[in-house]
Structure 1
């Protein structure tokens, strides 16, 4: 087991590699939780969520959650816990116009920033920054100024990703009422997270719709509007990307990987993999 914890002012950065861990009732800070390899389980309010490699979840400061690891292979996780004041100061400094900041340098009355809590893809500049930050932490760097800059970059990249994954998708929903759009997207993210967390199971559309508190037809129509694909197409992509991870990082036979990621037929898996990535699973490995 490896555990590194660094405090940066009121923020906290944690890098951990372990086979087993349990952390009950976390709350008080915005939490960006990443799984670099393996899987980690989260209970967020009443939702059961599983984080897989190349994904992360960003939780609000007043959300109570537990997370645990119980694995036969080593699981590498990385977490950044942002103090609410740090997030508030970041928003003021980066989202307000300069003349407003000059007129009121001490800031505005603090507001309670809330995000839609969902599993997001770890990619682009955010992935790059978090990977470098993790390397600094694991190598023992404790330069607070440098680490604070990384935290600022991470927040900036998260806000950009949030805009594309939440704000733009919410706007694409074909409802006139903004409140309705927000509520529908929240339910769609629940459906999406459920499919990601249970990609290895034989999921039924009725099951996913029930979890999201939507009818099947409503789920199909609005999911297509928000994500430009059907739930089945989305789940297939999740399974294919997990298959890539197992091909790259394990020596499991292809037939075993097919079963692990939830496909029923090796031949259809090979065809889908080749059509999606222009190589066969064997060539990719």
Structure 2
């Protein structure tokens, strides 16, 4: 699980892209970003998990993921999806400072919206074109999307027990950057808490509250990502991969890997990476 920096698509104030899922084994591991994200399943099926809930998007289903929410996705059935990622600064500007302060968006596959679907299909058709007229059409449709979301899909922050403040999110970004730089060695929660001047018990609660997962779960996910790449791209032994990724023993690497991938590292390499 890592922080992802969103860079807007050229000519637009947000990032717009389609992605095709060709394999049921496709998995986007847990990540988060400051941008809000609108997903539109055009065909196939997409499962998105956040806040301990799995949302299953089938053809024509929509889902909005609010800013700074840790989420992951997989594709049980191959297909095509459209994604629009709205930078937090743009959302704040477009909503006159109200997004995140007064409200967030609530849109799940159970909530149907023909207006949003028509706008998204139009954006999909025109966003990659090169003419100024089409760029303006897409920009106007993005504003219409936000207008429809503000009209029909608001959730007042007064109804939400915990809103992640910018102050704490910036601190979490610093903490996670430190973990990312040091995951490969013997790194524990006590060290990280001390580096950022926290009591260990408080830091443990603080981390879970604002990240939605524990410190150990995050550290394991970073180490797993590194191990996965080495498993895929090199002929290194399982022992070397375990130690290179920061796991203290092969057994701990095996247990964490199997819990997440349902196969041992060696079985996974043989099944997916050996030709």
- Indicate the TM-score class for this superposition, using the shorter chain for normalisation: 0.3 to 0.5
TM-score for both structures, normalised by structure 2: 0.46
TM-score for both structures, normalised by structure 1: 0.45
